[in-house]
Amino acid sequence: MATTLQINPLLIHQLLDQETLHEPGSPTAGKLPGNYVKTVLKNKNTLTPIIEKNNHMLTCKTCGKKGKYDVGMLVVNVDKKTKTDNISDNIQMTGYFRCKHCNSAGNWELPNSILMQSMVSVLPYDNGLAKQSMVGKNLLFDGSWHRYTTDAEDYLLDKLKGNPQDSYVWNRLGNLYHKGNRPDLAVSVFEHSISLDQGQAESHFTIGSMLSQISDLPNAGYHFRQMLLVAEKYKKMPAEDLREMLANGLWLLFMMHDHTNGEVPFAPTADEIQGSGRGEVPVDFAEMELEIFPEDVESFFPLAEMYMGTRAKEIPIRKRTFKLTTSTTSFRKKKKRVKKKKKK
Ligand SMILES: [Zn+2]
């Protein structure tokens, strides 16, 4: 029997806004809507997974068959009391996986290898191995705790059933797939969230970073520039987090701009600005003395704050990097900056 593609039929349903599923059989990736699904799927291996692969043999209790699954990071909730006192009930897994044979989800018999690995997380010493387990809780944006990613998915899909236009919840669902190492599902859902709300800045950012990794630079650039244009109206993130995200997007935009000898525009084009409905964009590169250090994301903070417009005022003054003097538009000289830690 051919293995299934491990997709929740409800997801396809709700993405396509169908009342009932007429076709029998398991859902296929071909039914996932979105412009980028195919290229992302084709280039899946060039995408850096957010969480390292962590394969284990699990047995599906629904059909009894065994299979190898990437369970992702094990997150052990040491606070949670269970009725059965079974530690495995407290282990969350970030990977997105469904039974390869019957497509059911969340009904697993866990192997000892998972229990062993999760116990490593509570050991006080660092054994030098890549950490594949940790103590903590993975909570959804509303504070709810779910054991399997497929449980969290069901929970969000149920929320969306009552409110299918909620682009923020769609974005959260996309994040689950993205972290769960299912970029095909993630990109489809992120695109959907943007089709509902062009102002979904976080979806623009994540699509941009996914596409930049698979070398679709023109489209990656488009999404990063959209992220800049919608930033001021995006209220779902604290201002400093928003600045961080914009700076990261600007940084990648800058690299792509440089790499393509300017073919990928660094700033939103006139058409894009007009299409965004944003009255004026307060960035005039001609008047700016930009000090950009490609190795330092923080050097993009002043630009990020400009795109944030009024939202930049939510950042405490001492933490702001961009200031307008009352008379002229000028940049404050950069202060001593904290050296960024080297990435490993
Ligand atoms: Zn099964």
The model's pLDDT over 182-214, given as tens digits with 9 standing for 90+, comes to 999 999 999 999 999 999 999 999 999 999 999
167 CA from centroid of ligand 1 (Å): 32
What letter would DSSP give residue 46?
G
Write down the pLDDT at residue 1.
Answer: 42
State the pLDDT confidence band at 120, using cuts at 50, 70 and 90: confident
62 CA from centroid of ligand 1 (Å): 5
Q: Which of 25-34, 90-99, 171-180 has the lowest mean pLDDT?
A: 25-34
Write down the pLDDT at residue 26.
Answer: 57
Write down the pLDDT at residue 83.
Answer: 62
State the pLDDT confidence band at 122, using cuts at 50, 70 and 90: confident
Q: What is the average pLDDT score of the chain? A: 87
95 CA from centroid of ligand 1 (Å): 17
Instruction: Calculate mean pLDDT across residues 48-52.
Output: 90
Write down the pLDDT at residue 29.
Answer: 65
Give the contacts of 302 (CB within 8 A, at least 6 positions apart). 290, 321, 322, 331
26 CA from centroid of ligand 1 (Å): 13
Asked if residue 169 has pLDDT above 80, the reply is yes
Asked if residue 293 has pLDDT above 60, the reply is yes
CA atoms within 13 A on the CB side of 60: 17
Write down the pLDDT at residue 328.
Answer: 38
CB 227 within 8 A of CB 249: yes
Instruction: Calculate mean pLDDT across residues 22-41.
Output: 78
Asked if residue 332 has pLDDT above 60, the reply is no
Instruction: Calculate mean pLDDT across residues 4-21.
Output: 80
92 CA from centroid of ligand 1 (Å): 20
**Backbone region of residue 277 per phi and psi (left: phi > 0; alpha: psi in -120 to 50; beta: other values):** left
- Tokens 């944006």, located at residue: 141
Higher pLDDT, 88 or 232: 232
Write down the pLDDT at residue 199.
Answer: 97
Would you state the torsion angle of the CA atoms of residues 208, 209, 214, 215, taken in this order, to the nearest 10 degrees? Answer: 60
162 CA from centroid of ligand 1 (Å): 29
Distance between CA 272 and CA 126 in Å, rounded?
A: 50
Asked if residue 227 has pLDDT above 60, the reply is yes
Instruction: Calculate mean pLDDT across residues 240-256.
Output: 97
Write down the pLDDT at residue 279.
Answer: 72
Higher pLDDT, 336 or 217: 217
Instruction: Calculate mean pLDDT across residues 283-309.
Output: 81
Tell me the percentage of the chain whose pLDDT exceeds 70.
Answer: 82
Instruction: Calculate mean pLDDT across residues 207-223.
Output: 97
Helices (H), 180-238: 183-196, 201-213, 217-230
Q: Give me the residues near ligand 1 (ion), CB cutoff below 5 Å.
A: 60, 62-63, 99, 101-102
124 CA from centroid of ligand 1 (Å): 37
Tell me the percentage of the chain whose pLDDT exceeds 90.
Answer: 68
72 CA from centroid of ligand 1 (Å): 19
53 CA from centroid of ligand 1 (Å): 21
Asked if residue 329 has pLDDT above 60, the reply is no
